[in-house]
Structures are given as structure tokens and as C-alpha cells.
Amino acid sequence: MIPNIVLQLKGLNKSFGGLLAVKNVDLLVNESSISGLIGINGAGKTTLMNCISGIYRADSGSLDVMGVSCLNWSPHDIARLGVGRTFQIPRVFKRINLIDNVMVPALNDNTDNKTLYERATECLDKVKLYDLRHNNAEELSGGQQKLLELARIMMFNPKIILLDEPFAGVNPTLCRLMIERIKEMREEGKSFLLVSHDLTSIYQLSDHIYVLNQGQVISEGNVDYVKNDPEVIEAYLGNA
Amino acid sequence: MNTILLLNGLVGGVIFGAIYALIGCSLNVLCGVLRVVNFAHGEFIIAGSFLSYVLLTLFGLHPILSLPIVTIAFFLIGFGLYYLLIPRLAKSDEPETSSFLLMFGVSLMMIAAMMWIFEADIRAVEFSFDPINVSLLVIQDAYGEGRDGRVIVPTARLVALGINALLIIVLTYFLYRTLTGKAIRAAIMNREAIQIVGINIHSLSASAFGLAAALAGITGVVLAFVVPSIDPNGGQDISLIGFIIIVLGGLGHPVGALIAGILFGLVEQIATVFLPQAAAQMLGFIILIIVIFVRPQGLMGRMTLR
Amino acid sequence: MAKLGTKKPDDFSKEISAQRLKSSLWYAIITVLILSCFLVPLQDGNLSFMFSLMMWVTLATGINFIAGFTGYMPFGYVAFYGIGTYVTAILVKVLGVSEYLAVPAAGLSGILLALLFAPTLRLNGIFFAIVSLSLAVVCQRLMSLLPEEITGGSHGLNLGVATDRTHGYYAMLIIMFVALVSASWLGRSRLGKALKAIRDDPDAADAMGIHVSRVRLYAWIMSAFFAALAGGAQAWFTGALDPITAFDVLITAKTVIYAMAGGLGTIIGPVVGTVTLVWIDEIVWQQFPVLNNFLLGLIITLLILFMPRGVVGSLMQRFPHLRKYIM
């Protein structure tokens, strides 16, 4: 059975002034899978993420989310197509409590308050933040805020989730929890594009990996292939 | 005959424009470096006028001579106020709005203090130059046979213009040629980066605050030359004009404020020739609103504050 | 760290009871407030002072919607109040409309003005503040420029004996009541949650599906509505107005201070802050009139420096378990 393509980029380019940050990138993510995106600092990973979520308008190429071409769409239109996103520095709603934080994506739904509350607390429960549900988001540690972002994404229920450095600064126990949840969500049919420096987690999770260097995809394939690809090794260790 | 009025308006425009330019520049230094929107700026200016008034009435010191005293006094006050007020502000949820409110509180206190000291009367700084007026242009028979039209300027205003021009030149030199000035401009452009290269952002910011306060004080003295009556409640209108200028010129851009100030002065003074006073004032605000929507970075700005 | 599965099935009902507790305390407070205001005329009390109190409570509660909940500080808030006074006065004096219709019409004019000014909500922090202030000034100058037959020019209008003070007083009471009830509703509603999300991170809220511009427009209109109504009631009660006092920036300032002192973003905050400070203001003003503005400035300076979240807000930060009781 041919898997559905949830996200597809073809020939994506983005430059800032004279600097070509993303160069001719082809990338695709299938349904129910996790694609990793790795590369050294400055390779263009976050820029690419921003292009996909609409924060940056790419210069050229094509961007398709579930078959819908959305190259120059605004962030909220792209989000509404079913693209969720977390950020390197967590963007939680600081002065409201965790339950309300998680409820935000579903405020417009036609559900009654009870269902809304139960779904929200369930999401919090899954990331083990249930006991802190009445605390304000600003009272959480950085790692906990990342978990909160994850819970919020769960509530948002998108088809594809862009995770930007979800493990950075998070302690190993919480990391394991996140990895479990991500795997669960994959089983439920969600897709992920995961940017991380934590190669261990990426290798654990990814079905497919893209390696970015100087804005270009220099290698792609499954974990073993990428691990042993001489080009990748050189990019990470050598004279870029 | 209208030409005379127009020319008068033009001259007035340049004179007021130079003052506005100075107001805008000093406000910009604060806004750019500290991201502090100084609502109390008008009150600082009025305080400057009052200080020169006091020096004149108590010590007979000619306003021009009071300039150095005002400069130093206000620099120190500004420098001190920085450390008193600003570091705490940086930790708040919304530094810009908070700074606006904070300085509003300061302005209320300053107005109250000045009202208490000087009472609600409008004071006049009494001194004069000799000759009192200078005739810039004479148009013969403009009002009919034997009645010439004159474009007259009070000497005090010309002196004010001269001081202003000098200040603007010195300020521009300072900002663009000296190390501290360049540091200040760099801080405006990128607050984080400048700390990375080892500059103590606190002492630089305090100096910037001091500089802005000193400029405000000087502007106050010069203002007294142009409009010899000092009204303790007049600060708010001045602050508002200041905001219009810095937005028009581009938030944080010193030269932008200069240009915008002069342009605004010209537009305002010429408008008063044709329109009633209240309408001319409204014109300024309407221009502001249009500019913010059409070109929020103003004439020369790169910064949109966030 | 808690184990998975700590969630219990009856949690939602516990949540409901907790909400009920919060609401009850709040309703108790406002009932006391409203009752005392209601009884004052019947006991020949100080009408002016109590009217003033109700007006400030309404204004503070009103500004809380756009400032505390949504994060926009309207430095030109007085524009809505001023329009309210003028529309009421013009309708009554010039067009002979009864006050009972004129004041609600004033509320409507507030809404219309809010819609007119709505594009300013697109501006970021400081631009919004400056433009808001400028718009209030423009309104003021406009009122003095319009034909004297309509607006009374710079002298303003005098409604004379046509207005019944006591009725004006009760109008303000009703308006305050509606404002407080609206605040109660907002504090528990999804709209309120959406607004706070916009306040904390508008882009993230946007990406989560909140229609930012529409949602914050609701808060904007609500704030303007109550300010205009308050202005209308003021015109009814005092029977006179002029452009300077109707658009005085000090009205915005005091509204902000009173609301902030209590705690923007909370429902109780503005009420608590207003009642406390209006009492203090009254006492100080009686004894030391000149000191008044100085104290006002000092309070706001100290507030911003040391208690930006107000008394209630800071208390909730320090003692998080109090959140169960405070709306």
C-alpha cells in the first residue's frame, strides 16, 4: 500500500538578502511516520521549519500539505490545514494555567465544557503534568514547558507536527516520556518532522532522516544509511 | 499680503522645527537605547525652562549662561533616574508599555512638584535682547502706499535658532563621530550584540538617559527664548509632539527625528496661517495616524520596536 | 513527579465546585457593593462621591477587558468616555431626546467609535499607545471645533435643570451592575481564555486556531461600550460638560491606575483597586489638594516598579493556592 504523503517540499528556496539559507530542498513526510532533520548549526534547519509553518515565505519551490499547495500561506492558514508546531524556546501562554493552556486549540470547537475539560486533562495526564494543572505556565521549568507544548499539540490534533529541538534542555526522564508519546502519536496516524541535535533520540525515533548542510540536503535515508554516509560524517566532523 | 504671512510662517516653521528636531532627537536616544518611551519628556523640558527662570530671577544669570548649569544638572538627574527606575522595568511582562506608564507617573509627580513650587501661574522669563526684533525682509508697499510689509523675527528666536543649530551639529557629531556616540547608536540597533562586545550596557544606558535629560533641559531653556511663558501643565502637549516626531522620523533614528522635526515645524506653522489653532494642532495628530498606518517605520527608520 | 493515571473520573465535578466557590465569593463582594450604592440615595448619603465611585468601578472594569485580558493598553480610553458624554448631552439638549434613550445611545456611539478605531489594534505595543492617545486628543480638538450650536464649542454644554440627578445616579448603578456581570461572564467564558492567550502570545494563539483579530475586537468593543455608557451617565448626573474635562487624559490615567493597583487580568482586581484608591483619593483630596496628583504619580510609579500585577495579581503569584478563591 502506498502511504499517503502528508508533507512534501520540492525545490524549496529561501534567501535573506544575499544569503541563501535554504537551497533547492526536496523533502517528504509520509502518514504515520517520523522524519528527522539533522545538521550542524547554521545548516538551515530552523529556517526550513519556519518556511513550512509559514513564518517565512519561501522564495520558490513548492510546499504541499496533504496535497494542498500552500506555499505563500500565512501561519494560521497553514496551521488550520493540520500543521502543528513547537518551538525551540517554548511558546506557552505564560500567565494562564495549564488546563487553559491546553484548551486553547479547542476553544472554537462545538464541544461542551465537560468534554473540553476532560480532553485537556487527559493530554496533561499523558505528559505527567496533571498535578500541576492549576499552576500558571510561567511557573514550569523549561523542560516542563516543552511537555506542555506537546500536550497542547495533542489537543490541537494536527496531522503533521513540526518539532523544533523538543529535547533541548530537557532532562532524560522527561525526554523518555516525550519519546514515548511521540511514538504513540505516530501509531495513531500522526506524522512528525523532527529537528534535533540529540542524535540518539533522532536515531531512536526516525523512520527517515534528512541531513541538511549549508541549506542543502546532502543525504537522506534510514538511520543506518545516514549514520554511515561519508558525506554526513564529513559535514559533522570535517571541513565544511 | 498673504506672502508676508506665509514668509512669517516659514520662518516660524524653521525656528519651531529646530526645537522639535531637538525634542525628537533626545526622545529618540531614550527610546532607541532603552526602549523607554518617556512620557515625562515634556515635563523635563518645562523643568529646564523653570531652572533657567529660577537662575535668572534669583541670580540674575542670563539664560545663555545658564545652559551649562542646566546641562550638567539634568545629566546627573537623568543618570541617577536611570539606576533608580530602569533596571527593575526590564523584568516586567511588557517593558515598553510599562515604561510608558512609569514615565507617566513620573510626569504627574513632576507637574505636581512644579505646580507646588511655582503655583499654577504661567511664569515669564524676562530678559530681552537688544534689538528686540530683527527685520528679515521688507516688502515695500505691501499693504498699500507707504506701508511696507515686514517679515519680523524676535531676536530671541533667532538666538534660539542659532543655539539649536549649534546643538544639532554638536549632537550629530557626537553620535556619529565619537566612540560613546557610536556606542549609543549601536545599542539602538542591537541591544544584545553590544553587550557581547564587552560594553557595559548599564553605564551606557545611564549615560544615554543622562544625555536625553540634559538635552531636554537645554531644549527647555531654548524654548523659553521662543515662547517666553512657562506653563507647568504644558508638558503633555510637548511630549505628544515629541512622539509624533519620532514616529514620523523613524523610531530610534536620530537623523530621522531631525528631519521630521523640521518638516513638522514647517507644516504646523504654515498651517496656522490658514487654519484655526485647534485645527492646526489636529493636523499633526492626523499626520501621525496616517504615517503609522501607511509607513510605520517612518521616514528613515529600520526599527519597528519588537 | 505524578504517575500516569492520577486523573480521577469525578474531577470535572470537583472543578465545577471550585468554580462555584470562586464565583460565590465574587458575587458576595459585588452584591455588597451594589446594595450599598443602591441604599445611599434612600439615606441621603453623599450622592456625588458614590456616583463617582460607581463610575470609576465601571471604567476600571471596562478597561480590564482590553488591557488586562487582551494585553492592549488604550492610552486614549477617555475618547470613548468623552464621546459618551457628548452624545448624551447633544441628544438631550439639542434634540430633546429623553435621557433614558440618550444614555444607551451613548453606549452605541461608543461601539461605533470602537469599530472606527479598530484598525489600531493591528499596531504593536508602543505604536498602539501613541496612536490611541493621539486619537483621544483628536476627538477632543474636534469637539471644540464643531459648531457651537451642536457641541457648545470650547465652553461645552449645560443640560440645566432638565436632568434628574437621582435617576442619573441609578442609571450609573445599572450600568455598573451590567459591567460587573459582564466581567463575571468573561472571567469564566471561552472568550476570556482566548483573550488571555492572545495577550500572552498572539502568534501562538493564531497558530492554534484562534481568530485573533475578531476575538480581540469583542474585548475592544466591550471596553468602549462601558466607557461610553459611563460617560453618558456622567452627563446625566452632573448636567454639564466641556471638551477639556470630557477628554481629560487624567481620566484614562486614573482608570489605569485603579485597575492596575487591584490587578489587571483578574476580575476582582479592578473593583478592589478602584474602591480602595477612590476612598484614599477622597480623603487626601479633602485635606491636601495639591498633593493629590503627586500621590497619583507616585502610586503609579511604585506600582509599575514593585507590583505591576497589582495587589490581587501579586498575591496570587506569591500564594498560588489563593487562586481557588479569586476570580
What is the pLDDT averaged over residues A133-143? Answer: 90
Secondary structure element (H or E) that encloses residue C153, with its range? none
Which CATH number is B2-294's, of 1.10.3470, 1.20.1050, 1.10.287, 3.40.50?
1.10.3470
In this complex, which of A108, A117, A122 lies closest to C15 when CB atoms are compared? A117
| Cβ pair C200:A94 closer than 8 A | yes
B304 falls in which pLDDT band (50, 70, 90)? very low
pLDDT value, residue B147: 65
pLDDT confidence tier of residue C2, bands split at 50, 70 and 90:
very low
Tens digit of each residue's pLDDT (9 = 90 or more) over A181-206: 999 999 999 999 999 888 888 988 99
C196–A96 C-beta distance less than 8 A: yes
**Is the pLDDT assigned to residue C31 strictly greater than 50?**
yes
Which has more pLDDT, C230 or C47? Answer: C230
Average pLDDT over residues B285-300: 78
pLDDT of C4 over the 70 cut:
no
Q: Which residues of C85-112 are buried (b: 16+ CB within 10 A; e: fewer)?
A: bbbbbbbbbeeebebeebbbbbbbbbbe
Residue B143's pLDDT is what? 64
Window from A235-239, B141-145, C102-106 with minimum mean pLDDT: B141-145
Q: What value of ipTM does the predicted structure carry?
A: 0.87
Contact C203 A91 (CB under 8 A): yes
Count CB atoms within 10 A of the CB of residue C189.
14
Q: At what angle do helices C268-287 and C291-306 cross, to 10 degrees?
A: 150
Instruction: Tell me the backbone φ, ψ of residue B300, rounded to 5 degrees.
Output: -125, 5
* C-alpha to C-alpha distance for B207 and C250, rounded to whole angstroms: 31
| Average pLDDT of span B22-34 | 81
Q: How many CB pairs under 8 A join A and C?
A: 93
Residue A104 domain-assigned (yes or no): no
- Residues contacting residue C208 through CB under 8 Å, at least 6 positions apart: A79, A104, A105, A152, A156, C197
Residue indicated by cell numbers 565544511: A240
Please name which of B8, A123, B101, A227 lies closest in space to residue C300, comparing C-alpha atoms: B101
Average pLDDT score, chain B? 81
Mind listing the pLDDT tens digit for each residue in C134-162?
899 899 988 888 887 777 777 778 876 66
Nearest by CB: B101 against C135, C137, C304: C304
Sign of the alpha-carbon torsion through B179, B183, B186, B192? positive
Q: Is the peptide bond before B131 cis (omega within 30 degrees of 0)?
A: yes
Number of domains in chain C: 1
Q: Name the residue among A94, A117, A134 with its Cβ closest to that of C323.
A: A134
Q: Does A130 touch chain C (CB under 8 A)?
A: yes
Neighbours of C238 (CB within 10 A): 17
In the numeric block, the cell 541563501 is attached to A20
Which residue range(s) make up the domain with C226?
24-324
Nearest to B241 by CA among B284, B289, B292: B284
Q: Is residue C19 part of a domain?
A: no
Q: Identify the residue with better confidence: A180 or B301.
A: A180
Q: What tens digit of pLDDT does each residue of A59-102 get?
A: 999 999 988 999 888 888 898 889 999 988 899 999 999 999 99
Give the DSSP per-residue string, B104-154: HHHHHHHHHHHHHHH-SSPEE-----SSSEEEEEEETTTTSTT--EEEEEE
Whether B290 has its CB under 8 Å from any CB of chain C: the answer is: no
* Residues C200, A93: C-beta atoms closer than 8 Å: yes
Q: Binning pLDDT at 50, 70 and 90, where does residue A160 land?
A: very high
pLDDT of residue B224: 84
Chain C residues in contact with A108 by the CB 8 A cut-off are 209-211
Residue C7 lies in a domain: no
* pLDDT score, position B306: 35
For residue A68, give its domain range: 5-93+157-237
Report the distance separating Cα A159 and Cα A7, nearest Å: 10
Q: How confident is the model at residue C289 (pLDDT cuts 50, 70, 90)?
A: confident
Examine residue C99 and state whether it is found in any structural domain, yes or no.
yes
pLDDT value at position B99?
Answer: 84
CA distance B93 to chain C (A): 8
* CATH number, domain with residue A209: 3.40.50.300
In the predicted model, what is the mean pLDDT of residues A224-228?
A: 87
What integer pLDDT is reported at residue C261 of this predicted model? Answer: 94
Cα distance from C45 to chain A (closest Cα, Å)? Answer: 41
> Which residue on chain C is closest to B119 by alpha carbon?
C290
Count of B–C CB contacts within 8 Å? 126
Strand partners, A194: A36, A163
Query: C174 or A110: which carries more pLDDT confidence?
Result: C174
For chain C, strand residue ranges (E) read 157-158, 240-241
Confidence band for C233, pLDDT divided at 50, 70 and 90: very high
Residue C48 within any structural domain of the chain? yes
Can you give the residue ranges of every domain in chain B? 2-294
Q: What is the CA radius of gyration of chain C?
A: 20
pLDDT for the residue numbered A26: 92
Task: Quote the CA–CA distance of A117 and C311 in Å, as a whole number.
Answer: 30
What is the end-to-end Cα distance of chain B in Å, rounded? 50
Mean pLDDT computed over B74-93:
85
Euclidean distance between CA atoms B161 and B172, whole angstroms? 16
- pLDDT at position B305 is 41
pLDDT band at A240 (very low <50, low <70, confident <90, very high): very low
Highest-pLDDT range among B84-98, B239-253, B260-274, C239-253: C239-253
Asked if the structure places residue C207 within a domain, the reply is yes
In a domain, A23, yes or no: yes
| Residue C108 scores a pLDDT above 90 | yes
DSSP code of residue C64: I
Give pLDDT, residue C111. Answer: 97
Mean pLDDT over residues B103-120, rounded? 87
Phi-psi region for residue C319, left (φ > 0), alpha (ψ -120 to 50) or beta?
beta
Q: Is residue A171 within 8 Å of A94, Cβ to Cβ?
A: no
Q: What is the pLDDT of residue A7?
A: 92
Report the mean per-residue pLDDT for chain C. Answer: 89
